[in-house]
Amino acid sequence: MNGDVKKILTAVKEGRLSVDEALLEIKEEPFADIGFAKVDLHRRVRQGTAEVIYGAGKTPEQIAAIARTMMQNGQQNILITRMSREAAEYVGRESALDYREEARVGMIGQGHPADGHGYVLVATGGTSDIPVAEEAALTAAFLGNEVKRLYDVGVAGLHRTLAHLDDIMNASVIITIAGMEGALASVIGGLADCPVIAVPTSVGYGASFNGLTALLSMLNSCASGVSVVNIDNGFGAGYLAGMINHIA
């Protein structure tokens, strides 16, 4: 904002702009200006790196149009989440799209090279949690993070978790993804020294209540350093993990 307002002020000082004209411009400016600076913030990741399109509820045509506009504005890395196969086929006709169906993630461009503090570990309790995990892992990787995957290490088979103690203890950030009782977050939170992002999944049946039980369980984790995102929100966890891994 400063730059633009400074120009307006200078113009006023130099008599090129009347006070009233300046007033009008300044009144219009700040939000639009901030707006422009921030318009992409909630869906874009650090200028020059990548932009994100949330594909849910958008038609293939809409997704393609948004991606086209972004590319025309010079963006080379675009991450599309919750993308249907139909949308992927449609977008793939006009752009080189790397589509991962399990995660419902589409990627245009190579993403940002990994340049964070360390690596992001993505761990799941079971195999059914993998789609959410892949959404998280692909997001983190695309946004410039080294990612390690540690799948199917549910607490009922503790040895499997413990067998990867090194990976757990050396991570910069860990994303734990689990449905049913969601105990993995507490177990890994107790073993690790780094921030743990817990993602409850809707995996389970009966009293899992579509992820509610895992969500509540994770919120009550007795391990410190654990925080929670929405049920099945792999993207949110991957994005946040990347943010943490790039803290300056």
Q: Which of 73, 96, 113, 207 binds a second copy (CB under 8 A)?
A: 207
Q: Output 86 or 93, the one with its CB closest to a second copy.
A: 86
* 113 contributes a contact to a second copy by CB under 8 A: no
Q: What is the spatial distance between Cα 221 and Cα 204, in angstroms, rounded to a whole number?
A: 19
Is residue 70 at the binding interface for a second copy, with CB under 8 A as the rule?
A: no
- C-alpha gyration radius of the chain: 22
Q: Which of 142, 97, 98 is nearest to 234 (CA)?
A: 142
Residue 68 DSSP class? H
162 in contact with a second copy (CB under 8 A):
yes
Q: State the Cα–Cα distance between residues 140 and 241, nearest whole angstrom.
A: 7
- Segment contacting a second copy (CB under 8 A): 71-79, 90-98, 99-107, 122-130? 122-130
Residues 167-206 close enough to bind a second copy by CB under 8 A: 172-173, 180-183, 185-187, 189-191, 193-195, 197, 200, 202-206
Q: Work out how close the CB of 71 gets to a second copy at its nearest, in angstroms, rounded to a whole number.
A: 21
In the complex, least distance from residue 34 CB atom to a second copy, rounded to whole angstroms:
4
Strands, E, within the chain: which ranges? 44-45, 50-54, 78-81, 97-100, 105-108, 119-124, 146-150, 173-178, 196-200, 226-228
Number of residues that bind a second copy (CB under 8 A): 107
Question: Using the rule CB under 8 A, is 16 a contact of a second copy?
Answer: no
155 contributes a contact to a second copy by CB under 8 A = yes
Calculate the alpha carbon distances from 111 to 119, 138, 190 in Å: 16, 10, 33
- Contact flag: residue 213 with a second copy (CB under 8 A): yes
CA distances from 97 to 110, 176, 190, 239 (A): 10, 28, 39, 20
Closer of 92 and 216 to a second copy (Cβ)? 216
Is the CB of 15 or the CB of 113 nearer to a second copy? 15
Residue 59 engages a second copy in binding (rule: CB under 8 A): no
Of the candidates 92, 113, 112, the one whose C-alpha atom is nearest the C-alpha of residue 101 is: 92
How many CB atoms are located within 10 Å of the residue 209 CB?
14
Q: Is 22 in the site for a second copy (CB under 8 A)?
A: yes
